[in-house]
Amino acid sequence: MALLQISEPGQSAAPHQHRIAAGIDLGTTNSLVASIRSGLAETLPDIEGHHLLPSIVHYAKDEPAIVGNAAKQFANTDPLNTIASVKRLMGRGLKDVKTTGTRLPYDFIENEGQGMPMIRTAAGDKSPVQVSADILNALKKRAEETLDGELSGVVITVPAYFDDAQRQATKDAATLAGLNVLRLLNEPTAAAVAYGLDKGAEGIYAIYDLGGGTFDISILRLHHGIFEVMATAGNSALGGDDIDRSIAQWIMQEANIADDAEHHHIRQLLDVARTAKETLTTQDIAPIQLEGHIKWQGELTHAQLNQLIDPLIHKTITPCRRAMHDAGLTVEHIKEIVMVGGATRMPRVREKVGDFFKRSPHTDIDPDKVVAIGAAIQADILAGNKPDDEMLLLDVIPLSLGLETMGGLSEKIIPRNTTIPVAKAQEFTTFKDGQTAMLLHIVQGERELVLDCRSLARFELRGIPKMVSGSARIRVTFQVDADGLLSVSATEETTGVHSEIIVKPSYGLQDGDIERMLKDSLEHAKYDIAARTLREQQVEADSVINALRAAIQADGHYLLKHQEFLKINAALNDLLKIKEGTDVKAIKKAIEHLDNLTQSYAERRMDSAIHRAVKGQHVDEL
């Protein structure tokens, strides 16, 4: 009788065991945690009944961090030590932060070698990752106290347009908070799950997500139970906070408040602006009253508000058009639109989005809670509580990933809008004879030249056997996991020498960089193709020149006649001059001319090599 097998401790769950999992919406303005309770996904409140946790952290000397509503009260009185909207700083460098156009009342310190800047506080220097970890820790405690148990894992949502650095920074914050991340899930995808679109009729859906600090538009297709993101676009620095600032600037103009007002006055103005915005969601006029050091009374009407925010709403429509274009669709193909994010409560936003898509959007679920609810549903599945659930979510990468090749060209390995997780490989070779190492430069972007793309990382492959140029076979594999994080490996196939890197850039893209990169790729398409063709021809010319010089040095003195040498040398010099120009046809013609002149020489070299190889051997040995 065969022996029965018993699993390792902790490796087999009894049918009655339920793993405690949660979904976390780590937002710019507010954050939430949700879980499945009694079969339903719901957000979890704190002891005072608040579901929304303001994404604000206050630091004081020799005191634990204060998070949420308790921290919010310090925003006006102690702005330097009260960090808000830290999501905008995640995975970004000091240069990015300073060029966002957003006035931030913090004392930033450049963190050499780490990319992201530190923020000087009374409790010491804090990185955006540490601040986010404090927010996540508060949500973790809330969930474990409410659910009466330790979390086995969480799904954390991120904007679909978060790049590799921003996603990695989010995972780092979760690790620092002691959370087991089951998956990073794109916010629009989470919203679609919350609305149960995965259970409905097959079709194409648009998820319009305007949160406190970010905007995303995703085009999803449900087909045979598989949720696929067809295209995504957005702006990682556009949201409800910008609407608040626009209203606050209007108040400053009306009240004759100087632009260089102190930080606590700016915070007061933003609070007043936010209240006016929320009032106009249900009323026609919002009274405004400034008290304290600055005194002013006035009112804001719907018409005035619309005039202020229409330019910002228009900025969200442009990515909508681009996403539709990328997916090869028109608005007539869209079955339904889902609204996500607190800013979508505004009637004007709903009106403009409805006008663009030519149909009324879904607004049934609280737009502040919908993402967290979707994340909770996905977390419950990934934790193993619903092993029979067949829901499959497929996200995409926002920008192409590739390698630099000779001539400064970008060779795309994984095109943008490729469904993830994904792994793709391509073979490369050496440029010079005897080359024993290769520098691999990983880039991101849509342009043909590396200088127009974004550099992600560099690593080296050493130990390549000495061979004639073009003989080595280097297999480079790009792998993007379900969280959108990239790893790259390179292997020389004859020896098996291997090198790899997990791509973790020190900071993310600047505001609007992704949109700019896509726009540039379209505007410069013809130029880029021409530039690539020229560079490819120049690289081929360099290769021919190097190979011919090496051959002449090796055996030209006895295989070439004097007149042959003079003609070949003259053609070689002509090619050297012509390849520095921009005439692709002339370069190609010069290469062909040189090739014709050297054909006889190449045949003699081949015969000589064969003669050397068989010299002194018996015919039976060959």
Task: Please give the C-alpha separations between residue 74 and each of 26, 59, 484, in angstroms, as whole numbers.
Answer: 21, 10, 36
Q: What is the mean pLDDT of the chain?
A: 81
The pLDDT > 90 percentage for the chain reads 25
Q: Which residues pair with 340 in a beta bridge?
A: 209
- Per mean pLDDT, which of 340-354, 382-396, 507-521 is the most reliable? 340-354
Active-site residue, selected from the candidate residues 87, 171, 352, 369:
87
- Exposure string of 30-41, with b = 16+ CB inside 10 Å and e = fewer, is bbbbbbbeeeeb
Which member of 134, 164, 172, 187 is catalytic? 187
**pLDDT higher at 306 or 270:** 306
| From 209, 244, 380, 483, active-site residue | 209
- Beta strands at 437-444 and 401-405: parallel, antiparallel or unpaired: antiparallel
- Whole-angstrom distance, CA of residue 602 vs CA of residue 550: 13
Region 545-550: what's the mean pLDDT?
A: 82
Using CA atoms, how far residue 348 sits from 81, 353, 357, 621, in Å, is 35, 9, 14, 87
- Tell me the per-residue pLDDT of 471-489, one tens digit each, with 9 for 90 and over: 888 888 888 877 677 888 8
Is the distance from CB of 367 to CB of 339 less than 8 angstroms?
yes
The answer to which of 24-28, 267-271, 437-441 has the lowest mean pLDDT is: 267-271
pLDDT digits (tens, 9 = 90+) for 494-519: 888 888 877 754 334 443 454 555 56
* Coil/strand/helix, residue 560: coil
Angle between helices 525-551 and 513-523 (to 10 degrees): 80
With cut-offs at 50, 70 and 90, classify the pLDDT of residue 387. low
Paired tokens of 344: 């979508």
| Whole-angstrom distance, CA of residue 405 vs CA of residue 439 | 10
Of the ranges 13-17, 356-360, 379-383, 533-537, which one carries the lowest mean pLDDT score? 13-17
In degrees and rounded to multiples of 5, residue 402 shows phi and psi of -160, -170
pLDDT at 613: 63
Residue 334 main-chain phi, psi, to 5 deg: -75, 125
Using left for φ > 0, alpha for ψ between -120 and 50, and beta otherwise, residue 325 falls in: alpha
Question: Tell me, what's the pLDDT at 150?
Answer: 92
Find the helix or strand (DSSP H, E) in which 250 lies: helix 240-254
Round to whole Å and give the CA distance between 597 and 599: 6
> What pLDDT, on a 0 to 100 scale, did the predictor assign at position 538?
79
| CA–CA distance, 227 with 225 (Å, rounded to integer) | 7
**Contacting residues for 214 by C-beta, under 8 A, at least 6 apart:** 28, 87, 159, 161, 234, 235, 236, 237, 238, 239
Q: Between 118 and 4, whose confidence is greater?
A: 118
Element (H, E) at 286: strand 285-290
Q: Which pLDDT does position 147 carry in this prediction?
A: 92
* Longest CA–CA separation in the chain, Å: 107
Q: What does the pLDDT average to over 68-88?
A: 88
Asked whether the predicted pLDDT for residue 562 surpasses 80, the reply is yes
What is the pLDDT at residue 299? Answer: 92
pLDDT bracket for residue 372 (50, 70, 90): very high
- Note whether 175 and 483 are within 8 A (CB): no
Confidence of residue 601 (pLDDT cuts 50, 70, 90): confident
Burial of 213 (0-12, 13-18, 19+ CB in 10 A): buried
Grouping H, G, I as helix, E, B as strand and the rest as coil, residue 89 is helix
Q: What pLDDT, in 10s, does the model give residues 274-284?
A: 899 989 888 88
pLDDT at 423 over 50: yes
**Whether residue 220 has pLDDT greater than 70:** yes
- Band (pLDDT 50/70/90 cuts) for residue 622 is very low
Q: What is the pLDDT of residue 619?
A: 47
To the query of whether residue 25 is one of the catalytic residues in this protein, the response is yes
Q: Which range among 33-47, 48-62, 137-151, 550-564 shows the weakest confidence by mean pLDDT? A: 550-564
> Omega into 421 within 30° of 0, i.e. cis?
yes
Does the pLDDT of residue 176 top 80, yes or no? yes
Give the lowest-confidence range in 74-83, 246-255, 267-276, 532-541.
532-541
Instruction: Point out the least confidently predicted range of 184-198, 220-234, 301-315, 429-443.
Output: 220-234
Set 25, 446, 492, 515: catalytic member? 25
Structural domains in the chain, sorted by start: 24-239+308-396 (3.30.420.40), 401-514 (2.60.34.10), 526-614 (1.20.1270.10)
**pTM given for the model:** 0.59
| Cα angle 445-181-241, degrees, rounded to a multiple of 5 | 60
Given CA atoms 354, 360, 366, 367 in this order, what sign does their dihedral have? negative
Q: What is the mean pLDDT of residues 544-560?
A: 81
Q: Which sign does the torsion angle of CA 8, 12, 17, 23 carry? A: positive
